[in-house]
Structure 1
Amino acid sequence: MKGENALGDFLRARRGRVRPDEAGLTSFGRRRVPGLRRDELAHLAGVSQHYLTRLEQGKDRNPSPQVLNALASALRLTPDERAHLTALADAPPHGVEPTVVSDAVQQLIDSWSQTPAYVRDRRFDVLAANKLAMALSPLYTPGQNLVRGMFLDPAARALFPDWRQIAAQSAAALRAEADPRDPATAELISSLLTDSLFRDSWSLHDVRPTRDEVKRFNHPVVGPLTLRRETLAIAGAEGQVIIAYQAAPGAPAAQALARLL
């Protein structure tokens, strides 16, 4: 991952995703680029082409909030993508984040006997898990990296019926939440870029933080499961979140989870 010019990489990638007609521009003749040309984006954002070139080349890394807002509007960015653009432009690097989960949090997730739960950090390293989470999948074992496992572990492809979609979402979540200036994150991305599917997903520069949503599993022991994922930030532990899966009361998935222990 080229974290040293993450802002420029993101601007170029998103510029290539906007069609001229979507931006209200008339396109004539054959175009050499699939999306907006640099001069077109500069015009739409009300900045000079020279300045936009400097941003994309990493020669200027501190655009004003007004410029960022104009670029985000011209690029038709989603709220998540706007937040990511702002973070790339002016957020200071994250400090040293804790790699140990507190005893209180471990006791909390252990007390959820019917709820698979684990703790991960911003880099998607699993830091702690309860027994039911590890029974649901070895991916949720402390010491595992969720994104690496999703792309490189064949068991993940069998576990998730929607594996290809979930894998792409995990890459988009890593981009949204991880700090590109963190050396361990850069090393993780570099190792994953050897995988062609991850490389294709990462090159899209999609941004989508982890959300509460329904997820399907095809467990090798208890069969199909449909669970609701909840994401809970841990106060006082920067970057750590609890991921918990819940089955609807009385649903077949609840009975299946009970058979895992």
Structure 2
Amino acid sequence: MGTPLGDFIRAKRDGIQPETLGLPERGRRRSPGLRRLDLAARAGISVEYLTRIEQGRDRNPSVSVVNALADALSLDAAERTHLRYLAKITGGACTAHRSPAPPRREVRPALLRTLRLLEPGIAVVTNRLGDILARTSGYELLTAGTGLLDGDTPNLTRYVFTDPRARSFFADWAEAADEQAFDLWLGPSVENSEWLSAELAPVAGPEFTRRMNRHTVPRRGMLRLNHPTGPELRLTRETLEASADAQQLVVFLPADEETATAVERLRERPRLRAIS
């Protein structure tokens, strides 16, 4: 049985063409990408050891081996961080942990007060699972009519993968899906991530499973939204980590004058309730 660490290494290896690393073409290959032999040589480890890591038979590679694999795969800073995180949770998988469970939804009063200071701007408190825990009236205006806030416990990840309206709302749906799938690995706890993944897998199907298992580190560039009233909104995001709570305060800012004008027009509509 594989592990998240092994899956990530194999996915990155499959995506590398040998010639980009200055390696000779060795003829026909059974699978695309970099051979285990070449990756092992670049990392200074044996092919047999690399095979054990990829197949999940060795779950505790040393820090030096993890760093050597990062170098051999030419990972960027975000990918290196993800590799180290996967090594950590894979190593801890041998120890017993609690059953999958949803995370707590409480938001500290201080974080709520900070959110209120951002009114009438567009801001939300969430966690890496996509739970929308609190939001400003501006965020409600931004998402009105999309279905995202329907229900008592709205969740962005569930919405992206299971609500057909999400594919219209997110102009770059594939990038949004990659972000939400990737962030499940960074959930408040392993148990929380397993809980939502188990819930989503049967209803979201292979689209969700494929994106989660390929570990694509998202770029998190400009967010483009097709608002139901008509305009395309282009937004940048500023994220403040509340690490003690495993939550985030995300502020959305218009990326251009056209978006700023469109947001102001949304605010001219009947006001919605403020902080939720």
Shorter-chain TM-score: what band? 0.7 to 0.9
Does residue 231 of structure 1 match 2:239?
A: yes
Contact 1:110 1:130 (C-alpha < 8 Å) held by counterparts: yes
Task: Specify the alignment match of 2:173 in structure 1.
Answer: 163
Contact 1:118 1:140 (C-alpha < 8 Å) held by counterparts: no
Q: What 5-or-longer segments of structure 1 have no aligned partner?
A: none
Contact 1:5 1:58 (C-alpha < 8 Å) held by counterparts: yes
Contact 2:184 2:193 (C-alpha < 8 Å) held by counterparts: no
Task: Specify the alignment match of 1:108 in structure 2.
Answer: 114
Task: Specify the alignment match of 2:55 in structure 1.
Answer: 57
Does residue 255 of structure 1 match 2:264?
A: yes
Using a 3 Å threshold, how does the CA distance of structure 1 residues 254 and 248 change in structure 2: closer, same or farther? farther
Task: Specify the alignment match of 2:154 in structure 1.
Answer: 144
1:228 Cα deviation after fit = 2.2
Contact 2:129 2:180 (C-alpha < 8 Å) held by counterparts: no
Task: Specify the alignment match of 1:130 in structure 2.
Answer: 136
Contact 1:16 1:34 (C-alpha < 8 Å) held by counterparts: yes
CA RMSD of aligned residues (A): 2.9
Task: Specify the alignment match of 1:32 in structure 2.
Answer: 30
1:206 Cα deviation after fit = 0.8
1:249 Cα deviation after fit = 8.9
Contact 1:15 1:36 (C-alpha < 8 Å) held by counterparts: yes
Q: What 5-or-longer segments of structure 2 have no aligned partner?
A: 272-276
Q: Deviations over 1:208-248 (max 9, x none)?
A: 37x4x4322221136332222211112632x1101111236
Letter of the structure 2 residue corresponding to residue 199 of structure 1: T
The 3-state SS of whatever aligns with 1:236 is helix
TM-score, with length taken from structure 2 = 0.80
Letter of the structure 1 residue corresponding to residue 177 of structure 2: A
Q: Residues of 2 paired with 1:235 and 1:191: CA distance?
A: 25
Does residue 195 of structure 1 match 2:205?
A: yes
The answer to which of 166-175 and 123-132 deviates more is 166-175
Does residue 45 of structure 1 match 2:59?
A: no
Q: Residues of 2 paired with 1:186 and 1:122: CA distance?
A: 13
Letter of the structure 1 residue corresponding to residue 233 of structure 2: L
Q: Residues of 1 paired with 2:45 and 2:105: CA distance?
A: 42
Q: Residues of 2 paired with 1:10 and 1:153: CA distance?
A: 28
Does residue 242 of structure 1 match 2:240?
A: no
Q: Deviations over 1:97-138 (max 9, x none)?
A: 753101222233233222121111132211212222123214
Q: Residues of 2 paired with 1:28 and 1:154: CA distance?
A: 45
